[in-house]
Amino acid sequence: MADVPSKSESEAWQRAINKVRKCVVSIKYQRPYSFDTELCGIGEATGFVVDAERGLILTNRHVIGPGPFYGSIVFENNQELDVWPMYRDPVHDFGFLKFEPKSVKYMHLIAMELAPGLATVGTEIKVIGNDNGESGSILSGYISRVDRNTPVYRQYTDFNTCYYQANASASGGSSGSPVFNVDGVAVALQAGGIFNASTDYFLPLDAPLRALKQIQNGGEVKRGDIQTVFRLQPIFECQRLGLSGERENVFRETCPGLKDLVVADKVLPEGPSDGKLKAGDILIKINGKLITQFFCLNTVFDENVGQTVSVLVQRDGHDIEQDITVQDLSEITPCCFFSVDRTIFHDISYQVAHRYSLACRGVFVRLQFVAEYEQVCSATASHSG
């Protein structure tokens, strides 16, 4: 027989739901041009207020897109306001929309707390969002994994992070929904799932929280990278790649319960790591700091934009240390385009280069009518919004 929640537990969840509902908004948007990895079109999604004073809403990058965006949000009291992009991450699946807080009437704005450290296997969660276009939908589940490699989609694909996994049965329109616990704080961001299955994928909130703090402090969100795609590999696979017993002991003693290590999966040609790293290199340390998770990796890169970092990897059982310059991701993220007839021209982005294993240079050409046809045929896409 299934466990019946106690009265106090049910009341706690009800308080959490009532609190979160006031933060959640439905998003209606239009992307008039196909740009980078995203297609033109209209859609619905979800977001939630993370800074009531500044009017900031957290949602997915694949909702905002990398190009022109027009959108509006609808609050719980059915008030509609225009929004515009404040920030969209060059790699990870999150971004911030901005609205005018003074225009909100008849309700008190509150912001949702971001608590990335509270997501653990077995955590009971709920998701409130615009599921299948039905605003205010409430879904439930349990986090089953916190170390999943990012899913691969037909268009935009996140990388150099891990995702959480749960079975909450979210569908289209849920993208950008807050994943929250019984205390009503966000522990993850709904990002995608599998069609015809109940599996959902959540983005950890470490990167969104770091970016939010930089925006709140009035600074620019600095993002760095070395043009290498890393993935998590089980330790037994790393042993086959040449992980030494000595290095394995250091990892296991430092992080008991560690099951995976960060391994280079793809090195882009002509990038900072070209000729220095290879696919299959096991990442050991950066600037002397042991790397056991993606958050440590991204933090080091973001804090050393334009600087040289010392990267220690193990290849075929041998330690190899390389000095690599961290590139500013804004340099390989296009911010404008040129349109002739129904054809779009813009610089090749890191996203496109990563997908096709190209150098981050040259011009990307997209025929608008082809993009429209692709949108009609993209029924297998796995993003939930």
What is the 3-class SS of 149-206, one letter each residue? ECCCCCCCCCCCCEEEEEECCCCCCCCCCEEECCCCCEEEEEEEECCCCCEEEEECCH
137 carries an active-site annotation = no
- The answer to whether residues 35 and 67 touch, using CB atoms and an 8 Å cutoff, is yes
Report which of 182, 143, 166, 158 is spatially closest to residue 16, judged by C-alpha positions: 182
Given the residues 26, 36, 62, 273, select the one marked as catalytic.
Answer: 62
Given the residues 26, 135, 171, 174, select the one marked as catalytic.
Answer: 174
Report which of 220, 182, 189 is spatially closest to residue 206, judged by C-alpha positions: 189
346 carries an active-site annotation = no
How distant is the alpha carbon of residue 59 from its chain centre?
Answer: 9
DSSP, residue by residue, 341-361: TTEEEEEPPHHHHHHHT--S-
62 carries an active-site annotation = yes
Question: Which uninterrupted H or E stretch holds 83?
Answer: strand 80-88
Q: At what angle do helices 294-302 and 206-216 cross, to 10 degrees?
A: 30
Tell me how far apart the alpha carbons of residues 251 and 99 are, in angstroms, rounded to a whole number. Answer: 45
* Residues 6+ positions from 90 with CB-CB distance below 8 Å: 223, 329, 330, 332, 333, 349, 350, 351
* Residues 6+ positions from 238 with CB-CB distance below 8 Å: 248, 261, 263, 282
Given the residues 51, 89, 93, 225, select the one marked as catalytic.
Answer: 93
- By annotation, the residues acting in catalysis are 62, 93, 174
